[in-house]
Amino acid sequence: MSTSGKTSWPELYAMPVTPAVMTIHGERPDLIVVVLPVGTAATPPGFQSNRVCVFFDMRDKLGRVAATPVVG
């Protein structure tokens, strides 16, 4: 597993989830991308060096990214 490369994607904030996930996969194919509604906890809890959580706003019809996706 690669630990080098980009670790956050602030440019994806407010973007629809699907293209955001595709961007992360394209830039860091070594990571697992987990898509979660805002307020949901990732499982397993705690820092995971191979995971990116993408939180989205369920109230938004487009399901836009609600926070900067980061590795962890």
Q: What is the pLDDT of residues 26-66, one digit of tens each?
A: 999 999 999 999 999 988 899 999 999 999 998 988 899 99
Indicate whether 1 belongs to any domain.
no
- Its domain, for residue 20, covers 10-71
- Stated pTM of the model: 0.88
Q: How many domains does the structure of the chain reveal?
A: 1
Indicate whether 64 belongs to any domain.
yes
- Give the pLDDT of residue 14: 96
Indicate whether 5 belongs to any domain.
no
CATH of the domain at 38: 3.30.10.10
Indicate whether 3 belongs to any domain.
no
The CA distance from 24 to 69, in Å, is: 9
- Contact between 67 and 22 (Cβ < 8 Å): no
